Structures are given as structure tokens and as C-alpha cells.
């Protein structure tokens, strides 16, 4: 969290926040596609033109919620020790996000958008953007390894799969718990993330092995420790 000192940065951050807040409020009240940029601008107390100085579309404004969420995930990942197994790092980073403050905005966004269609374009873009950043982070981590050249395919396949599993866990969670943010619900999310990463780590060996059942391999290696 870099301290923003100058007034300019403060104002900019405030406007940014005001826009996403307004967009979310309108999404809540009127539903997807039933409000315009002008509506957002008015509610946020800025001009239509200024909105476009911050975001190129309504979708982009809403996707900033997802960006925020994924950015903090990235942050968690980057500060894991470099000698830790990479799947373990990913798992831990994702787990840190299963707390109310962090998931709340994303959860609401999900419930408000997935009613109508699938994940909207900008949402997908946010996840994709995060994938690219994981690739960078993982590349840096492997840079100091014995083998000189990093296997680009390995990196991209791994990062993509991790994100896919994270997304899968979230999808299942929302389908199961809706916007429920209770401790019990968050515990389920954590377990889903653990299981998803377990499946990934065990090569998707059996559909039930890495689940809640007291089976051997994956659960022992990736058991939750709280």
C-alpha cells in the first residue's frame, strides 16, 4: 500500500472510487444495461467526459473491482518465499483472499452480473491480465534457478491452470453460497480453493480424491492449516 501524498493522487483515487461506487450502485438499482455513462457521471459528481478519462467503458469501470481483487492476490503471491513449491504459493495466495473485506465487492459483482449472462468481457480480460502477471512473477522466481532458460510453455500452462482453478472454485462457491459472506461460507470457499489446487497438483487423477473424503495423497499434502 503506497502512501499517496500529493493532492493530485488523492483526488484521482477519490474520483476513481466514486466512479466505481456509482457504477455499482446503478448496477444494483437498475440492472445491467439499463443505465448510461451519463448516469454514472452524474451520480459520481463528474462530467461524462471525465468518466472516459478514467475508464473506456462501463464494463471496464465495473471490472476494476475484479482487478483490485486479483491485484491483491498477485501481491500475496509475489511475497511468498522463492523456494516454496509454486502450487503451494498459489494456494496460499488465493486463500488469503477468502476474507470478508476482500471478497465482498467481488461477490456482489458476481451476483449482479452472472444473473444475466456469463462473465462479461471485461471480467474475462481482468482474469487474463492477472494470468499474464502471474507468468511474469513466476518467470522472475525461476530466473534464479539452475537451468538457465525458463520453459515458457511450463510457465504459461501453469499460470493459466492456476487461474482457471481459482476461477472454478469461485464459480462453484457462488453457485453454492450466493453472496453469503458468513464465516461458514468463507470456510467453504477456502476448502474449494484447496481442493481445486489439490486436483491441479495431483494431475486430476480421480474426481473425488482431493475432496473432503479422507483419502491419502492430495489431502495430506495440501491440508488446511489454520
Partner DNA sequence: AATTAATTTGCGCGTCGTGCAAACTTGCAC
Partner DNA sequence: GTGCAAGTTTGCACGACGCGCAAATTAATT
22 binds DNA (CB under 7 A): no
- 175-202-151 Cα angle (round to 5): 105
What's the longest Cα–Cα distance across the chain? 60
Q: State the number of CA atoms in the 13 A half-sphere of 199 facing the CB.
A: 18
CA distance 78 to 82: 9
Q: Which is nearer to a copy of itself, 41 or 163 (CB)?
A: 163
SS3 182: coil
117 binds, among DNA, a copy of itself, none (CB under 5 to 8 A by kind): none
CA distance 128 to 203: 22
152 binds, among a copy of itself, DNA, none (CB under 5 to 8 A by kind): a copy of itself
CB 58 within 8 A of CB 33: no
Residue for grid cell 463528474: 46
Considering the complex, what minimum distance in angstroms separates the CB of residue 17 from a copy of itself?
25
Q: Which is nearer to a copy of itself, 54 or 142 (CB)?
A: 142
46 binds, among a copy of itself, DNA, none (CB under 5 to 8 A by kind): DNA
Interacting residues with DNA between 32 and 71 (CB under 7 A): 36-38, 46-50, 52-53, 56-58
Instruction: Enumerate binding residues for a copy of itself (CB under 8 A).
Output: 86-87, 118-119, 121-122, 124-125, 128-129, 131-132, 142, 147, 150-154, 156-161, 163-165, 167-169, 171-172, 175, 192, 195-196, 199-204, 207-208, 211
147 binds, among a copy of itself, DNA, none (CB under 5 to 8 A by kind): a copy of itself
Considering the complex, what minimum distance in angstroms separates the CB of residue 111 from DNA?
22
111 binds DNA (CB under 7 A): no
SS3 151: coil
- 101-106-109 Cα angle (round to 5): 135
Contacts of residue 4, defined as CB under 8 A and 6 or more positions apart, other chains included, come to: 10, 13
Q: Which is nearer to a copy of itself, 22 or 95 (CB)?
A: 95
**Which residues would be at the binding site for DNA (CB under 7 A)?**
6-9, 11-12, 15, 36-38, 46-50, 52-53, 56-58
Amino acid at each position: 500500500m503506497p502512501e499517496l501524498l500529493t493532492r493530485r493522487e488523492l483526488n484521482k483515487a477519490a474520483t476513481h472510487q466514486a466512479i466505481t461506487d456509482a457504477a455499482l450502485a446503478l448496477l444494483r438499482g437498475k440492472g445491467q444495461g439499463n443505465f448510461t455513462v451519463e448516469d454514472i457521471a452524474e451520480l459520481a459528481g463528474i462530467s461524462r467526459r471525465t468518466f472516459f478519462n478514467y475508464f473506456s467503458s462501463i464494463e471496464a469501470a465495473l471490472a476494476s473491482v475484479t482487478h483490485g481483487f486479483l491485484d491483491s492476490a498477485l501481491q500475496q503471491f509475489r511475497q511468498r518465499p522463492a523456494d516454496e513449491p509454486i502450487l503451494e504459493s498459489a494456494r496460499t495466495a488465493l486463500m488469503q483472499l477468502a476474507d470478508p473485506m476482500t471478497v465482498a465487492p467481488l461477490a456482489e459483482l458476481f451476483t449482479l452480473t452472472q444473473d444475466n449472462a456469463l462473465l462479461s468481457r471485461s471480467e474475462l480480460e481482468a482474469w487474463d491480465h492477472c494470468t499474464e502477471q502471474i507468468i511474469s512473477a513466476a518467470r522472475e522466481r525461476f530466473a534464479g534457478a539452475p537451468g538457465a532458460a525458463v520453459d515458457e510453455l511450463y510457465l504459461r500452462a501453469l499460470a493459466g491452470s492456476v487461474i482457471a482453478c481459482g476461477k472454478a472454485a469461485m464459480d462453484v462457491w457462488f453457485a453454492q453460497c450466493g453472496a453469503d459472506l458468513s464465516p461458514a461460507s468463507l470456510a467453504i470457499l477456502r476448502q474449494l480453493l484447496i481442493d481445486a489446487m489439490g486436483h491441479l497438483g495431483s494431475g486430476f487423477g480421480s474426481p473425488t480424491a482431493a475432496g473432503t473424503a479422507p483419502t491419502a495423497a492430495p489431502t495430506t499434502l495440501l491440508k488446511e492449516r489454520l
